[in-house]
Structure 1
Amino acid sequence: METKIVIMEENKIDERSIEEAAKVIRDGGLVAFPTETVYGLGANALEEEAVKNIFKVKGRPQDNPLIIHVADYRIEEYVKDIPEVAQRVMTEFWPGPITLVLNKSDKVPDITSAGLDTIGVRMPSDKIARELIMKSGVPIAAPSANISGRPSPTEVGRCIEDLNGKIEYILGGKGSQVGLESTILDCTVDPPCVLRPGAVTLEMLRKIHSKIYIDPAVMEKPKDNLRPKAPGMKYRHYAPKAPLKIVRGDLKKTIAKINEMVQNYIDDGKTVGIMATNETKESYTNGIVLSLGSRKNLDNIAKNLFEVLRSFDDKGVDFILSEGFEELGIGIAIMNRLKKSAGFDILDV
């Protein structure tokens, strides 16, 4: 398959290209497109065969439900009801990086929701994404635009790496501003439950409803007595090609332990990547060191996380060691993604 690739200049909307991509969506094809969270791989959410192709191209398990993306607040035809708390979240945070899980209407095919009676709905704030949805005239089902299991793409080049020749169209724009997938809030339960942390943090949501909580299984390795409520969260996600281990605790002890481990790997003839920060990068004497940004700006660390993981793939390292981060605010989302990238391989120091 020949993939058409169009990369737009920042802040310039190419209406003709968006209309071409929208026609691909209407005709049952697949389009990769930017959002403020990560790049998405989109299809007509209401067309079964189109949605099947998302699972096929990504290699995504079919019991992992998709999120549908809309361009305005009129979602009544896709869901059975909108609880008051959901309305308040929509008013406060849409368009933006939060997905609401609601009871779906019969208009949404079961394949889109992976057979569940609920569906995740989001209104992205990215201008290209919104234009594409509006011109398509249908909600767009869109997981991240990568091969399933790999770090999500925040730059169009990563979509091209994974999907060129496999889908009809790739729309490129600027890099994703958030860099982590949307917060997912289940509004079918009371109190609402965060199924995936993101840039809309627990602290922000508790201003809407003080009892909103995070599913305890989100931050822990799945166990028989602690399984995530969201079906897709049981799968390996965000993983680079090399094994990743998180070293967390007192920062000085973390640095010392990572330096010790790196030397052991080097002695065994292995190459090691170190995920550091601006404050610590000069403290590592060996290995390939990449900074995620400053610890004083966790939003920037979140934005850079997946691209740094991908960069270690580019460099062909044998192992990756990462510093840990405080699980507060967006730090919860950062550590959620890091833990899943590492398969919950964590060393406390």
Structure 2
Amino acid sequence: MHKEISNAVQILRDGGLLLYPTDTVWGIGCDATNPEAVKKVFHLKERQDNKALICLVADDRMLGRYVKEIPKVAYDLFDVSDDPITIIYDDAQNLAPNLIAEDHSIAIRIPNDDFCFQLIRRFGKPIVSTSANISSQPTPKSFKDIAPQILKGVDYVVNLHREKICTKPSSIIKLSANGKVKIIR
């Protein structure tokens, strides 16, 4: 795993795209602070750039650098959720502008996956995590279901967990600074 993390970190530092296993589905990733890298993700997925993407952080300390205020209920959700949960926060900061939604929110997940955790910690910044498919196509349930166009469009494919079957993506909850909670998925 150490070698895969080193290779992946170098691709991220170079502004490249990564295909990697997450705690949910196989993801396309890049440096979430690099607008050119984020632009490449939208292009590869054939996705409109006004549709927001998810990013991953290693822990709540890192999360605090990318959102102005973490609602207290977020910490409760981290503690009680057994399944992967992505939270949409108001007032994103220090991220690529084209990653942030029009309402200035950002979807962030703290993955429960050793590879992702170590990758993000070693990289030191959040990484984009969007499903490894062309927009409007089904999310692949396993590595073997990933379209050749995606495999050829990334700069590096992590050679770990290729046998993993993914049953579902994360839940998505929007937490507004005013205390409002909305379940998206």
TM-score, normalising length: structure 1: 0.49
Alignment-derived partner of residue 182 in structure 2: 193
Quote the Cα distance in structure 1 between the aligned partners of 2:116 and 2:141.
Answer: 14
Alignment-derived partner of residue 119 in structure 1: 106
Quote the Cα distance in structure 2 between the aligned partners of 1:153 and 1:130.
Answer: 22
User: Which amino acid in the other structure matches residue 65 of structure 2?
Assistant: E
Q: C-alpha displacement at 1:116, in angstroms?
A: 2.9
Alignment-derived partner of residue 69 in structure 1: 56
Quote the Cα distance in structure 2 between the aligned partners of 1:15 and 1:67.
Answer: 25
Alignment-derived partner of residue 122 in structure 2: 135
Q: C-alpha displacement at 1:42, in angstroms?
A: 0.3
Q: C-alpha displacement at 1:63, in angstroms?
A: 1.2
The structure number with the bigger radius of gyration is 1
Deviation string 1:73-107 (CA, Å, 9 cap, x unpaired) is 2111100111111121122238x510111123331
Aligned-partner SS, 2:40: helix
Conserved in 2, the CA contact under 8 Å of 1:21 and 1:31?
Answer: yes
Quote the Cα distance in structure 2 between the aligned partners of 1:114 and 1:60.
Answer: 14
Deviation string 1:142-188 (CA, Å, 9 cap, x unpaired) is 11011111111232222363412211011141445652111110111
Q: C-alpha displacement at 1:129, in angstroms?
A: 2.0
User: Which amino acid in the other structure matches residue 101 of structure 1?
Assistant: I
- Structure number with the bigger relative contact order (C-alpha 8 A, sep ≥ 6) is 2
Alignment-derived partner of residue 23 in structure 2: 36
Deviation string 1:258-297 (CA, Å, 9 cap, x unpaired) is xxxxxxxxxxxxxxxxxxxxxxxxxxxxxxxxxxxxxxxx
Alignment equivalent of 1:167, drawn from 129, 135, 154: 154
Residues 85 and 178 of structure 1, relative CA distance in 2, 3 Å threshold: farther
Alignment-derived partner of residue 46 in structure 2: 59
Runs in 1 of length 4+ with deviation above 3 angstroms? 174-178
User: Which amino acid in the other structure matches residue 152 of structure 1?
Assistant: T
Quote the Cα distance in structure 2 between the aligned partners of 1:177 and 1:73.
Answer: 28
Whether 1:100 aligns to 2:65 is: no
Conserved in 1, the CA contact under 8 Å of 2:26 and 2:142?
Answer: yes
Q: C-alpha displacement at 1:122, in angstroms?
A: 0.2
Quote the Cα distance in structure 2 between the aligned partners of 1:179 and 1:35.
Answer: 12
Alignment-derived partner of residue 183 in structure 1: 171
User: Which amino acid in the other structure matches residue 92 of structure 1?
Assistant: V
Alignment-derived partner of residue 7 in structure 2: 20
Residues 102 and 156 of structure 1, relative CA distance in 2, 3 Å threshold: same
User: Which amino acid in the other structure matches residue 183 of structure 2?
Assistant: V
Conserved in 2, the CA contact under 8 Å of 1:48 and 1:112?
Answer: yes
Quote the Cα distance in structure 2 between the aligned partners of 1:177 and 1:81.
Answer: 35
TM-score, normalising length: structure 2: 0.89
Quote the Cα distance in structure 1 between the aligned partners of 2:110 and 2:164.
Answer: 15
Aligned-partner SS, 2:172: strand
Alignment-derived partner of residue 70 in structure 2: 82
Quote the Cα distance in structure 2 between the aligned partners of 1:92 and 1:50.
Answer: 34
Residues 28 and 174 of structure 1, relative CA distance in 2, 3 Å threshold: same
Deviation string 1:210-251 (CA, Å, 9 cap, x unpaired) is xxxxxxxxxxxxxxxxxxxxxxxxxxxxxxxxxxxxxxxxxx
Alignment equivalent of 2:36, drawn from 39, 43, 49: 49
List alignment gaps of at least 5 residues for structure 1: 1-13, 197-349
Quote the Cα distance in structure 1 between the aligned partners of 2:149 and 2:161.
Answer: 17
Aligned-partner SS, 1:165: helix
Which 10-residue stretch deviates more, 61-70 or 98-107? 98-107
